[in-house]
Each structure stands twice: as structure tokens, then as C-alpha cells.
Structure 1
Amino acid sequence: MARYTGPKSRIDRRFGEAILGSEKVLSKRNFAPGQHGNNRRRKMSEYGVMLAEKQKAKYTYGVLERQFRNLFEKAAKADGITGEVLLQLLESRLDNVVYRLGIAPTRRAARQLVGHKHITVDGSVVNIPSFSVKAGMVIGVREKSKSLEVIEDSLSGRSHSQFPWIEWNQQTKSGKFLHRPERADIPENIKEQLIVELYSK
């Protein structure tokens, strides 16, 4: 499936946030990319603001349009506030859970680890990044992959206690997905209500 493989700094500059890269590029070039990026004064329309918020969420979680639309429709049918349920569904994706557990340094790296069969769910290898993790499932590193340098480096440099909806076991290099996160616990700067309004038009 196609993924965005272009410059990460370009996306960060478009939204004015470190979505895919580091904040270093924004401190040097805190304006939109392109030849006229520094001179853009055009006020964005209401539709443009909503569309930008949806695009930001898609780039943040690495989801393409059709997948994102399907997740929204699923969230709309579920009980609860549609925008919050949408973010919960995005957070429950296997690649995102692997990233949150600290097994991979970025969501892109997490997707690659999943696709290359380095990740297990309840003891069985799962290579589908969009796999929906349910409460009580245990996500771990396959025995053969525990010595991979990228995994060891990531695990040594990340805190595993910062997210209340997951529980990490350092000895087994696995984490338990306790429950779907509350909106207040999700650190992403996404105004999900704007996405709901966009799809409701």
C-alpha cells in the first residue's frame, strides 16, 4: 500500500508542528514550504481549516484516505463521541501501540517492524500494521528479534510509564494493552471535532 515517502520536514512546516520529524527544522524555517511559503498571508477558509486538521491526523498516524474514512464510519456507528472514538481507533492500531510501547522510535519504524514479522500479539506473529488491538492483548517482540539494534536502542531511550492505557514488562519485552485511551491522555494536538464537521458536510 502506498505511503508518504517525501521529506518529513515539508509536512512539519506545512502544519507548523513536528508531526513527522523534529522541532529543529521549525526553529530554522517556521513558515510553509515552497517558493512563496514565507510570503503567504492568505486567510484559510472554514473548509480549509477542517481539511487541514484531517490531513494532519492522517499524516500523524500514517493512514491513507480510504482507511481513514473507514475508521471514521466505524467511529460514527459506535457508542460515544465520534471524534474521540476515532482517535481511540487510531491509537488502537498495532503500529501505533508498538510505537507507544517504545519498541520503535517512530510510527514509520513501528510499521516496518510489524510488516517484517518482528512483532507478536498474544504470542502469535502479526504483520498487519492496521490490526486493531483489543483490551487485554499482549504485544511483544518475537524471540528472534529481541536482539535487533533498532529495538534495543529504542527501548533503552524511552519511558514506558507515560501512557496509562498500556503496561510494559521489561523482562519479557512485551506490553499489555489495558484499555482504549481517554481523550485527555492522548497527547496528539488534533482537533477531532473539526474532522467530524468535515465529514458531516
Structure 2
Amino acid sequence: MARYTGPKSKIARKFREPIFGPDKALERRNYPPGQHGPNKRRGKQSEYAIQLAEKQKAKYTYGILERQFSNMFKKATRMKGITGENLLQLCELRLDNVIYRLGVAPSRRAARQLVTHKHIVVNGQVVNIPSYSLKPGDVVEVREKSKSLEAISDSLSSAGNRSNDWLTWNPSQMSGTVVNVPNREMISENIKEQLIVELYSK
């Protein structure tokens, strides 16, 4: 499956959660998409279906493909600690996600574009790989040539309330620092990671 580029509202309605940010379509029609609307009889989901849906929700939320996600899970199982929490930490420490968390981009999709277009510098080096994994102490900043970009300044001005305990932001330098690895309480996404672990453990 290639990266999803279709209607975001359709996916949000599928999971009944604004996984791509505030969505008026989801507010108006808080039921899964389909030609029969909210009146369609939907049978009880199996345990496998619930686990699979949770994995799909995590993939769509972070914009990760199936093979990437599977490899991240394998890496999470090799790490010390709780596998589910490790998996979410790996998702959060992706470069595109950190750019979004810092408020440099209004969405992860927009953050991904900034990274691939070489607008982002990590520890003094231009990095154009959205999946680049950051670690505590890494400094992420907007490239000098890109600091005047309207898209970035607009996003920063509207992201005033986007605070994170594991990241710091220096507005004058347009740079952020990864202070530590986020624990589960610091990750705001409504993802039941234990269901994903159970799915991959079958």
C-alpha cells in the first residue's frame, strides 16, 4: 500500500476520531463512511478486527507505511521496557512528528513536506528523511534560508498552545531541542498500544 493521499475526513470518520486535527466533517457526521449512512447495521467486531483497526489508526496518525511500522515494532520488542510504549516513543521521535510537535508545521503531512524539501536542519546538517529517528540532545531547527517562509511563520503563530514536556523551543533561533524520550503520559494520542502488541504477537 502506498502512502494514503485521499480524503482525510473519510479516515477520521472511519475511526470516529480527529486523527488529522480538527475536522468539521467529523463533527457533522460522526459515523463511519458508506452509502447507507448511520442506519447501516454493523455487526459486532471480532477481537482481531479491533486490534487491526487500532494498528491502522496508529499508522494513519503518524503517516507510516506497513513495512516501516512492522520494522518499528520489531525494534520496539528488542528495546528495554514495555513494547507498546516503546513503539509509541519511536513514532514520536520521528523527525516529521517532532517538527509537528514543535509547531513548525500544522500537521504531520505538512511537516513531512518541509523535511523532504530540505527546510529542516538537525545538529547543523540538512536532513530530508521524515523517518529520521531523533534522540535526547538533538537540536532541530529551520534552515536559515527557510526562516522567512510564510507557511512556517503562520504555523508557529497559530501553535502558541502546543506545549510538550519533552521538547523545548527557542523562537528567536527557530530551533527546538529533544530534552528526553517521552513517556506514555506525555503522548497525547488516543492509541491503545496494547492492542497493537497483541495483534503482532499472534
The TM-score, its normalising length taken from structure 2, stands at 0.96
Q: SS of the counterpart of 1:53?
A: helix
Runs of 4+ in 1 over 4 A off after TM superposition: none
Say whether 1:50 aligns with 2:51.
yes
Structure 1 position 24, deviation (Å): 1.5
Q: How many residue pairs end up in the alignment?
A: 201
Residue type at the aligned position of 2:115 = V
Q: Deviations 1:150-184 (Å, cap 9, x if unpaired)?
A: 00000111136610000000110000011110101
User: Does structure 2 conserve the Cα–Cα contact (< 8 Å) formed by 1:137 and 1:177?
Assistant: yes
1:114 and 1:89 mapped to 2: Cα distance?
18
Structure 2: unaligned runs, 5 residues or longer: none
Structure 1: unaligned runs, 5 residues or longer: none
Structure 1 position 3, deviation (Å): 1.4
Residue type at the aligned position of 1:6 = G
Say whether 1:169 aligns with 2:167.
no
1:113 and 1:161 mapped to 2: Cα distance?
19
- The equivalent residue for 2:125 is 124
- 1:102-121 residue pairs with structure 2 within 5 A? 102-121=103-122
- The equivalent residue for 1:30 is 30
User: Does structure 1 conserve the Cα–Cα contact (< 8 Å) formed by 2:103 and 2:162?
Assistant: no
User: Does structure 1 conserve the Cα–Cα contact (< 8 Å) formed by 2:21 and 2:107?
Assistant: no
Residue type at the aligned position of 1:18 = P
Counting aligned pairs with the same residue, the percent is: 66
Q: SS of the counterpart of 1:18?
A: coil
1:157 and 1:93 mapped to 2: Cα distance?
22
Q: SS of the counterpart of 1:175?
A: strand
Say whether 1:15 aligns with 2:19.
no
- 1:1-201 residue pairs with structure 2 within 5 A? 2-38=2-38, 39-159=40-160, 162-201=163-202
**CA-atom RMSD in angstroms:** 1.3
Q: Deviations 1:62-89 (Å, cap 9, x if unpaired)?
A: 0000000000000001000000000000
Q: SS of the counterpart of 2:104?
A: coil
Bigger drift between 57-66 and 29-38 goes to 29-38
1:40 and 1:8 mapped to 2: Cα distance?
24
User: Does structure 1 conserve the Cα–Cα contact (< 8 Å) formed by 2:137 and 2:177?
Assistant: yes
Q: Deviations 1:69-118 (Å, cap 9, x if unpaired)?
A: 00000000100000000000000000000000000000000000000000
Structure 1 position 34, deviation (Å): 1.4
Q: Deviations 1:104-133 (Å, cap 9, x if unpaired)?
A: 000000000000000000111000000000
User: Does structure 1 conserve the Cα–Cα contact (< 8 Å) formed by 2:9 and 2:23?
Assistant: no
The TM-score, its normalising length taken from structure 1, stands at 0.97
Residue type at the aligned position of 1:158 = A
User: Does structure 2 conserve the Cα–Cα contact (< 8 Å) formed by 1:12 and 1:21?
Assistant: no
Residues 16 and 57 of structure 1: CA distance in aligned 2, closer, same or farther (over 3 Å)? same
1:75 and 1:113 mapped to 2: Cα distance?
27
Residues 32 and 121 of structure 1: CA distance in aligned 2, closer, same or farther (over 3 Å)? same
